[in-house]
Structure 1
């Protein structure tokens, strides 16, 4: 098993919650080739780490992520041929795919600006807790590029609907946190100083929950997107039967009998609402 020790961003694990913090605040946490690669690698290997039960993804300083670094990436791309350009765009898409493939809940603590690739990274997370200062922008058209990048045209309509997604991807407009909340891009908006803490609070709750079942939930949210209703109901019937054979099901029942919060397999402590 690969140890999780990234060099291009900060990683911390506590109480089952892995916090990944993009750590180039002087560059608004813009992405370099190395960050793309290492962040994608880290998300990929997390599936083999049972100690990771939920994930918080955020940025240091006043930005979540401002997208690809103009100096490190954009200038270099002009020197590439078509084969080299496709290799790059596939590498950026791999990062998004690995967020969706990770069988752990991923919470984005959108503490500030999230534009370009940064907006797509936040979009790919399962839940977005946003600072009141957060801004989103799928700004690809502003630099002469297609709005469909890194899976944005697949994911965004699923989150906000086709009409809102079309407007955002065609115009590249930057929207604030309240606008994002209104269309469903933000799950909740909180004071700036509470953003990461609120994301971590939710992540802790999920980390103390049934990890096996949460993994199944994320798998089914992905798989059922292309199923007919009958196929989805049958798939859920089989998945739920599998979950009923997991020890967590009996644990929850026995805790209910004792009127106590359950401690699920691998969780450091039960979740209790404060």
Structure 2
């Protein structure tokens, strides 16, 4: 780093890592101070610099295109992980709609947007599980190994249709995982609705609208209690899908 000729290469590393942390789950939250994010990206770029083979980069008219490419790569890789992890919020939305909690959305202090109650509960458990298995280290490894597929001194060899097909695949995986997380609780609540419908026909004097809402909430809490062990298994599958998707995006950008 003492050679001034290495500054353009270091700046490319710093831009990609910073852009990566802008959209990456856990590292991009508002509760993490911005000076910490910038400082962490700076020191991480210093650590990664000796292992990156990108000598000979000069500041010319193509260098600014390389800077834009680094921003694009970092943001897209982090956004891909966020899209897969958003399956937890989607599953919580399905559950809250059946429970009647859909009108009680809360503001997530991490992202600053509204999120379902159940989805926020599952999301916190997923993040704790990610930290307990040192998954945040794997996320940092992801930005390091991205240089094996997408060198800092090379442009992205786009291929027609591959990006769109890959994005559609990401959405399909996220929706499928969300459906797997929500179907046990949603299925039980559907059976509760069927039972309430039968009771309403058999006992017309009973006001099922008054009884139904607290009953569905009680059943939901009981099912969630038994569902937590299965949820950990699904969370493990979710993170495996997230890491595989990030690697697949890197290979796609690298022309593999």
The TM-score normalised by the length of structure 1 is 0.22
Higher helix share: 2
- Which structure is richer in relative contact order (CA contacts within 8 A, separation 6 or more)? 2
The TM-score normalised by the length of structure 2 is 0.23
| Higher gyration radius (CA) | 2
